């Protein structure tokens, strides 16, 4: 309860920050995008990890205003990086179930994009299979509205939901993010390797981009690259970073 009342005030007190984790092309090692990851720095509690407050923000509905703030702030930030010469940089933002169902979602996104003059094609929304599959006909309409804005859609934690694959055929998905549970054991466990390879083959034949998340070692990187994976995200390249450190990394790479 204490956490909940504090969470209610966190936005107005300016206690949220966004960290950015690079997504890297496996073809040439270039940073092609960033995923916005919310952090809560509480003056007394210190850093409260997202796993501890995002479920609470979901339950209470606070995720809706918080998520709108994330969209506005991340679009404005990445737009500044575009203007500093990193013009191709993609921005990925996570959407939870509550946000996806909220009736003002499309307007919120449109406004965030417009107010920062953000190129819509450089925004990608990350949704999990369970969010997409919750109410399939309604979700399909929603996804079409989002795509009509010109933005892209990614399936997050791919392979962990208990959905059919049918939605990949009918829904306007642009990319798959291989869940890190498959990546973690890819060097040791032949089944994990087979699954990662199958997901990459599936994505490739459907002409979807495929991103491996949670890549921690050089060996994992090489295996995934060998399987034809397009991009990676993970500690092997960088942790999620505060904006100034992310910018330093971008400047280093040119
Ligand atoms: O940042 P990791 O470092 O700990 O994130 C944990 C979880 O929190 C992930 O599942 C991620 O998708 C989710 N998350 C992080 N930032 C956001 C956000 O801005 N909005 C939503 N809805 N989820 C987020
Ligand atoms: O669920 P989602 O994919 O949005 O969550 C991203 C989460 O993964 C964040 O919590 C981020 O901090 C974490 N993460 C990113 N790279 C790695 C990694 O290489 N290893 C591990 N263990 N976690 C990672
Ligand atoms: Mn994500
Ligand atoms: Na994920």
pLDDT in tens, 40-56: 999 999 999 999 999 99
Query: Cβ neighbours of residue 133 under 8 Å, at least 6 residues apart?
Result: 139, 161, 163, 164, 167
Residue nearest to atom 22 of ligand 2 (CA): 214
Asked if residue 163 has pLDDT above 80, the reply is no
Task: Report yes or no on whether pTM surpasses 0.90.
Answer: yes
Pick the closest to residue 18 from 87, 108, 81, 100 (CA basis). Answer: 81
Pick the closest to residue 47 from 243, 249, 242 (CA basis). Answer: 242
Residue nearest to atom 13 of ligand 2 (CA): 214
Confidence of residue 166 (pLDDT cuts 50, 70, 90): confident
Choice from 21, 24, 55 to test ligand 2 binding pocket (greatest atom count within 8 A of CB):
21
Which atom of ligand 1 lies nearest, measured to the CA of 58?
A: 22
User: Is the CB of 128 within 6 Å of ligand 1?
Assistant: no
Name the phi and psi angles at 92, rounded to 5. -110, 135
Q: Starting from the CA of residue 57, give the closest ligand.
A: 1
Q: What is the pLDDT of residues 71-96, one digit of tens each?
A: 999 999 999 999 999 999 999 999 99
Q: How far is CA 35 from the centre of its chain?
A: 5
Residue nearest to atom 19 of ligand 1 (CA): 38
Find the range with the poorest average confidence among 134-148, 201-215, 222-236: 134-148
Q: What is this model's ipTM? A: 0.96
Which DSSP category does 48 fall into?
E
Find the range with the poorest average confidence among 124-133, 159-168, 220-229: 159-168
User: Is the CB of 211 within 6 Å of ligand 1?
Assistant: no
Confidence of residue 136 (pLDDT cuts 50, 70, 90): confident
Residue nearest to atom 1 of ligand 1 (CA): 37
Cα separation, 113 vs 109, whole angstroms: 6
Pocket of ligand 2 (CB under 6 A): 21, 37, 94, 126, 156-157, 180, 213-216, 233-235, 240
Residue nearest to atom 15 of ligand 1 (CA): 37
The pLDDT score that the predictor gives to residue 2 is 86
Asked if residue 1 has pLDDT above 80, the reply is no
Count of beta carbons in the 10 Å neighbourhood of residue 72: 17
| 37 touches 16 (CB < 8 A) | no
Which DSSP category does 19 fall into?
E
Decide: helix, strand or coil at residue 117.
coil
Asked if residue 162 has pLDDT above 80, the reply is no
Strand ranges (DSSP E) for the chain? 16-25, 31-42, 46-48, 90-94, 123-128, 152-158, 175-178, 209-213, 231-233
Choice from 63, 217, 240, 242 to test ligand 2 binding pocket (greatest atom count within 8 A of CB):
240
- For the chain, the first-to-last Cα distance in angstroms comes to 48
Which atom of ligand 1 lies nearest, measured to the CA of 157?
A: 10
Going from the Cα of 52 to the center of ligand 1, the distance in angstroms, rounded, reads: 10
Cα separation, 61 vs 7, whole angstroms: 11
Asked if residue 164 has pLDDT above 90, the reply is no
Decide: helix, strand or coil at residue 213.
strand
Query: Cβ neighbours of residue 205 under 8 Å, at least 6 residues apart?
Result: none
**Mean pLDDT of the residues in the chain:** 95
Going from the Cα of 137 to the center of ligand 2, the distance in angstroms, rounded, reads: 30
The pLDDT score that the predictor gives to residue 133 is 86
In which element (H, E) is residue 222 found?
Answer: helix 218-226
User: Is the CB of 234 within 6 Å of ligand 1?
Assistant: no
Confidence of residue 110 (pLDDT cuts 50, 70, 90): very high
Pick the closest to residue 38 from 57, 24, 23 (CA basis). Answer: 57
């Amino acid at each position: 309860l204490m956490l909940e009342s504090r969470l209610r005030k966190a936005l107005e007190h300016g206690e949220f920050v966004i960290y950015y984790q690079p997504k890297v092309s496996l073809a040439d090692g270039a940073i092609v995008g960033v995923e916005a990851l919310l952090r809560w720095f509480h003056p007394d509690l210190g850093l409260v990890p997202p796993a501890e407050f995002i479920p609470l923000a979901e339950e209470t509905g606070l995720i809706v205003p918080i998520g709108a703030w994330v969209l506005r702030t991340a679009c404005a930030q990445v737009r500044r990086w575009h203007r500093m010469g990193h013009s191709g940089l993609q921005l990925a933002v996570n959407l939870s179930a509550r946000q996806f169902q909220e009736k003002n979602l499309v307007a919120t996104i449109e406004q965030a994009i417009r107010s920062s003059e953000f190129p819509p094609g450089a925004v990608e929304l990350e949704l999990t299979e369970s969010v997409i599959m919750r109410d399939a006909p309604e979700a399909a309409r929603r996804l079409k509205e989002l795509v009509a804005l010109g933005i892209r859609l990614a399936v997050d934690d791919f392979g962990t939901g208990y959905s059919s694959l049918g939605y990949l055929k009918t829904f306007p998905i642009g990319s798959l993010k291989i869940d890190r549970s498959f990546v973690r054991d890819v060097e040791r466990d032949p089944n994990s390797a087979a699954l990662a390879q199958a997901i990459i083959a599936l994505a490739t034949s459907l002409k979807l981009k495929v991103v491996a998340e949670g890549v921690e070692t050089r060996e994992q990187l090489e295996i995934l690259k060998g399987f034809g994976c397009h991009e990676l995200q993970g500690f092997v390249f960088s942790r999620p970073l505060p904006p100034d450190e992310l910018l330093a990394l971008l400047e280093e790479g040119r």
